[in-house]
Amino acid sequence: MTYQILTSLCALMIVVACQPSSVDAPVVGGPCTYETATLQGTVASVGDEGLLVSTADREITVPQDYIEEIPEVGEGVTVVVKQITKGTCTPMIYSLQRRP
């Protein structure tokens, strides 16, 4: 009988210890704010890690994870780059659109 009571108390203590300490604890990852830049460019090269896009004033590497359809080298594209300014979400988000 004493063994059952001790086992039950230990189980209850474990459950209580695993509960969050505060209901108002901040959620990791949000809220986040981003600065957005929309750039016109040309695909300079296509590689295993993504695309190299040349714009008027810089080159941008768009990671493979952000590319749905791989454009041809020399093709005009619009790249939208969102860079985090506040929070702990994804630091950079890319969007690639083909231009007509």
Residues of the domain holding 60: 33-100
Residue 84 included in any domain:
yes
Q: In what order do the strands lie in the sheet with 33-47?
A: 59-63, 50-55, 33-47, 76-86, 92-98
CB atoms closer than 10 angstroms to residue 79: 20
pLDDT at residue 15 in the model: 45
The tally of domains found in the chain comes to: 1
* Structure confidence at residue 5 as a pLDDT band (50, 70, 90): low
Residue 27 included in any domain:
no
Residue 17 included in any domain:
no
- What's the CATH number where 68 sits? 2.40.50.140
Residue 8 included in any domain:
no
pLDDT for residue 29 is more than 80: no
Residue 13 included in any domain:
no
Residue 37 included in any domain:
yes
Residue of 90, 80, 89, 84 lying closest to 41 (CA atoms): 80
Residue 25 included in any domain:
no
Higher local confidence (pLDDT), 21 or 34: 34
pLDDT for residue 20 is more than 50: no
